[in-house]
């Protein structure tokens, strides 16, 4: 069974490129390939990223070490194998230090299949590891129901904002603590699945009514946190809070009927002078309780 992958060949000799491709086919590979021998074409060929790069060491305009440097400069980690007609051991070692995963001579292409197999397997394992790490991060720092950041991630972002406000007196931010009101009645009349669905829709509505640099998080139950970042003035937080309350008050469509919710809000702003994110949340909670008791 042939193994497809995207291959980029850095080679100024078409005949040598054809020999490498024939050898790959012999070992059961079926790459979609592109051959380049100029730096500008190489840079263009890195988007989208190939799965593997086979590179001659020396070409008229640039060499494998330069190609490796350009790849790393762009934050890419693509398996890179140097295939050269004449490369000394010291140069080969330097290429490995620069990021190449293997090297071989053109008159010993019998090892190409094993080298490519190893490089692609290593790439696959790295991708699997990255996917696992991303999933664990998401599960640890995001709410399972809404997908929003949870309290821990919100506090981390809030702590960064506090540190920035200490360095920059002109930097202003605010925290909103929002409590969805009416969900308890929905839970009793329509059931938990209905209240969960409304929480999801409410979280999406909140996210749409803030800027991309702001952060919306689910604290617990029917409570949400919003970090309004880099405000011009602290009074802007009140305007945003009013806009959010109006957005939440719009009817939600559920099961062929309209459902109405409202939102209580507590606000704290950075000019008040806080030393810890927990204190900001404490005062936002106190402000929320005062607002809902009126």
Give the separation between CA 165 and CA 250, rounded to whole angstroms: 35
Looking up tokens 């190489």 gives 42
H or E segment and range at residue 253: strand 252-254
Mutual angle of helices 151-167 and 277-293, in 10-degree steps: 110
Q: How many CB atoms lie within 10 A of CB 118?
A: 14
| Distance set, CA 205 to CA 199, 212, 268 (Å) | 10, 13, 22
Contact 156, 137 (CB under 8 A): no
Cβ neighbours for 119, distance < 8 A, ≥ 6 positions apart: 52, 79, 81, 101, 102
Give the separation between CA 29 and CA 120, rounded to whole angstroms: 11
Catalytic residue among 16, 102, 214, 222: 222
Q: Tell me, yes or no, if 222 is annotated catalytic.
A: yes
- For residue 201, count CB atoms less than 10 angstroms from its CB and return exposed for 0-12, middle for 13-18, buried for 19 or more: middle
Give the separation between CA 194 and CA 255, rounded to whole angstroms: 9
Q: Cite the active site residues.
A: 222
């Amino acid at each position: 069974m042939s193994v497809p992958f995207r291959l980029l060949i850095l080679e100024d000799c078409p005949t040598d490129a054809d020999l490498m491709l024939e050898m790959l086919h012999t070992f059961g590979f079926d790459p979609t390939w592109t051959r380049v021998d100029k730096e500008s074409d190489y840079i263009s060929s890195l988007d989208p990223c190939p799965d593997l790069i086979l590179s001659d060491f020396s070409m008229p305009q640039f060499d494998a070490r330069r190609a490796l440097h350009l790849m790393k400069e762009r934050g890419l980690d693509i398996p890179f194998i140097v295939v050269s007609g004449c490369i000394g051991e010291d140069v080969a070692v330097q290429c490995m230090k620069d990021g190449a995963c293997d090297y071989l001579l053109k008159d010993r292409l019998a090892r190409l299949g094993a080298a490519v197999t190893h490089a692609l397997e290593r790439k696959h394992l790295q991708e699997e590891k990255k996917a696992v790490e991303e999933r664990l991060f998401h599960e640890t720092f995001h709410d399972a129901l809404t997908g929003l950041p949870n309290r821990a991630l919100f506090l981390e972002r809030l702590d960064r904002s506090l540190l920035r406000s200490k360095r920059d007196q002109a930097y202003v931010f605010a925290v909103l603590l929002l409590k969805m009101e009416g969900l308890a009645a929905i839970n009793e009349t329509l059931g938990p699945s209905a209240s969960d669905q409304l929480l999801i829709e409410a979280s999406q509505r909140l996210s749409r009514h803030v800027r991309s640099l702001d952060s919306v998080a689910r604290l617990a139950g029917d409570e949400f946190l919003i970090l309004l970042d880099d405000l011009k003035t602290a009074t802007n937080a009140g305007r945003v809070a009013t806009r959010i309350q109006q957005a939440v008050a719009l009817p939600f469509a559920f099961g062929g009927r309209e459902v109405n919710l409202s939102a209580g809000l507590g606000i704290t702003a950075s000019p008040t002078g806080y030393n810890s994110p927990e204190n900001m949340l404490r005062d936002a909670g106190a402000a929320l309780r005062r607002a809902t008791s009126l």
